[in-house]
Every structure is written in C-alpha cells, then in structure tokens.
Structure 1
C-alpha cells in the first residue's frame, strides 16, 4: 500500500530548507517547449501537483545517495560491505538528522519509490540477486527501519501502512544509532574548517525531448544541484572542481563517476518517478478518493 501523507558532521542539511529547493513555480525555459508526461492527462490537477512534488522529493534523495558515493571516493572513506547499501544508509541519515518535516517526507517518498518500482516490475522478471544494489523492497524496508530508529512516533503510521513488523521496530533504534555513530566517526576527521568551501561546477544540460524538458525546468527552478553544493561545500574537506550535472542519458539513472569527479542525474530518472506516481493514482482511484474524504 502506498502511504501519503549525528553529530554536527551528520546534520548539514537543515540550512537548505526555504532557501533552495522544493519550489515548483514557473521555471527557466529549456531547449524546447516542455510538455507534461502523457500519464498526467489521466490525473486531477491536485494529483499532478503531488506527483511533481514526489519527483522533487525522490530527486533530493537520489542526489544525496550519489553524494554518498562522492564522499566515499573523494575522502577515501572505508566501506565494509556493499557500497550501495552503505550510501543508502548515509543518505537517509543525513536527511533524517536535519530534523525537518519537509525532509521527513522526502525520506518517506524515498521508501515509496522503491515500493512502486518493485510493484511495476514484470511478474516474469528475474530478481537481480547479483546486483550491486539490494532488491527494491529491501531498500524500502531498510529505509523505513532508519526512519523508525530515528523517530518512531513520527514514522510509525507510515511503517504500519506497509506492515513493518513490530519486533523490527525495536531493533531499528539500535541499528540506526549504531550506523549514525559509525558514519559520524568516519566523517569527523574530514569536517571542513571555519571559512572553508568547495567550488562545484553545476550544469543543467538542455534536452530536445519535451517531456524531459518539463523536468529539467522543474529542477532548475528547485535549485536541486545548487542544494547539493550548498549542503556539502564548507561541510567536508572536498577539493574544488567536482561537477554536478543534470542531463538526458537515454536511461533512467543517476550515478557518480570517481574518475571524472562528476555526479550525474538523468532527466529520465525524474520522468520515471513521475510515471510511477501517476500510475499509482490511476491504479488506485478508490484509495485516493478515500484519502481525500478523510481530509
């Protein structure tokens, strides 16, 4: 069911709220006249607004995940186990430690997107047990465990909506505290000094695809890549010249290239999030109408 609704070195995020992202006003024009995703034609205006916010929220979580890879490679951080799992945990902790309600919703939507991705998979599709990432539903439940470990009162309704087991809720408190302490200890030596900053190179590349242009304009207006710069510059000892790029990739993805020192967010990933959310509304009209009636 879809539910709507550290130490100092682990809490750099709070300063961005209100100053940068989460605005969905008219954006800077892209290379072509932007068009909404085709599935939006089947949604109400309010659902479109919520789907767009879902895109921004999942994009924030995605760039924090990739920023985790950035920190690992740029600071030569030790990682025990799979790096993908490690930076999933780090990104979630960074967002939760901000203790900001808008970022709490970002983390909820980060869990939601993995449930939606799992639900959209072909029934005959073989599960990728060999992949560098955990399975989609595993990533969702691991995120929820971090949420419960941070603030059970705030997130319990969300956890109950996806039948998260009670016995795991108790364990998650210790798991979260252990992970937070471990990351705090690893990152502590790399905290930037007073007055330190990092020069990032930011680029939102144009696209000739009108649907992708719609999301390009959206994240330009939200200042998504600027948010990454503002959070991590002056927080950790990062060398100048890191590139933050949003572009058309031909595939729904986001990635960090250690060799190029570049984080790339693909516009197709934003379109994919929008389509997942829109399809949920289309497939669950009764549930969404019930939620409207409770307000």
Structure 2
C-alpha cells in the first residue's frame, strides 16, 4: 500500500510489487493483521513531525509470521509468529501490506496464544503509556492521573497502566456517549468536557489537590486548562498534536510551577536497552491479562480507505485493526 500525494484517505492505494529479499538486519514477514494509529493519518496528510518521501508506504504496527531472515539476523526463524513495534521511520519501512520488510530490531516474538488482531492492537499503545507513566518511576500508588481523549487506544492503555501501578485514572471525553465505555475500561472517574468544567471536576475528585500527571495527546491552547488541574510539583506530558494550533507554555504564567514536556514513544523504541525493558513490562502485562487490547473494529486490507475514514471520525473506542487475507 502506498500514497503518492498527501491528503485524505482516498490517496491510499494498493499496488502489486515484487518481493525483495531481506537485507542485513531485516525480516521478510507474511502479514496477518495491522494496527492503525493516528500518527499514520497525520503522516498521510503531511502534518506529521516528519514529511513523507513520496511515493511512500506507511504503518508502524503489524502481526505476522517470518518468511525469511536477512544476513546477520539472529533469534528469528522461518515460521516464527511475531509482532512489529514502532521503532523506525515510515520513510524507511511500513506495515501496510500483505508481505513487508521490517528491521529485526523492531520485531518481537508473539506467543502462539496471542491472536494476530490482539497483537497488532497492543504495542504502540502500551509502549507509549509505559514510557510516559512507568519508566521514570514517578507514578506512585494513589496518584491521580488525568488522561485526556481517553477513548483512543493509548488512552485506554494508559488507564490499564495506571491501574497496574495502583494510580487513580481520571479519563476525559468530549461527549457523554463514551462515559460508560470508559468506566467499563477501568477509569475511576470520567469527565465529559462538553458538559462539565474540567478544573472544577478535578478539584472535587482530588479534594482540591490536583492531579500528579496529565497525559495529553491533544496539545493546542487547551493545555492552559489542563495546567489548572495539576498539583504543585506535578507534570503535564503532551504526546500528540490532535489540535494543530500553537501550544502555549503554561509554566510561564503559573505559580507554583509545574513540569511540562513533550513525549514520543520513539524515545523508548529507538534505544535498545529501554526498549528491552519496555517489551518485558508490556509482555508480562499482556500474558497475565492485566493489559488487554480494546479493538473497536476490524477492516480488510482492501478496505484500507474506509478504515482510515473510521479512524478519522473519532467515534471509535480503542484500536482499529486491518486484517489480511492470503
């Protein structure tokens, strides 16, 4: 699957191409399922943090089996079930296709008990939540965490991660339609921002103390409101840019100050030591059932345009997965 111009879902097109043998450090995979991410929408639109080199493929996540290993690859053999992690540039590799080349360093073994759909729905979300909420050790039992736009796959993974840490996840959603789904997913509290004043609700929930951490994929001017929800010494982590407007620095007009930072999962996935720790943490959560992917809908690869339209609609709760027939 490639696109030769930026734009809406209609720019995506399937093409027959010759299979190339894997090069050094690469694997050739037969793909069974592909996890979709908002990052791919932005890449396709030309609004991601790096520009696509057209014509371009795209995609960060997949589940499949190894067909062939390239020179220098160890630890993988023909027929191994595997998952692909977001640890590369989409200008170099992509996961949208029935057969793909990927770096072995971005690939992990998949237990036979884990379905391709579940595997394709797990890694981006839980690795993102791990890096922000677990790795630095600052999240403690009893801490209140404010998770905005929480009905997406990362938001739901963050709810599960907060619960595993003993923290108290407060989820936000714009409309009441998703309140019940978020509570069922493990949120301790849900604030409907179209109907409720967020700082007031957070103050009531936390006894006036505020939250330890805000984990936000939206950015834009709304971070000023989020800053009012943070306890003294707390932090605001922005990991996305759903709002394309400029994002102010709340610290500049606030006392006591809060810590603000941007975050991307690639901080973890491009560092071999940090990635190994993250994979161990997430894999143990998936194996014990503490972590479980929430899949909103599945589409066939031939319906990739409709899958992207559904992803852009914002009506989904959880992951959208594309399956591949062979």
How does the TM-score come out when normalised to structure 1? 0.36
Q: Work out which structure has the larger RCO, using CA pairs closer than 8 Å and 6 or more positions apart in sequence.
A: 1
Bigger Rg, structure 1 or 2: 2
How does the TM-score come out when normalised to structure 2? 0.33
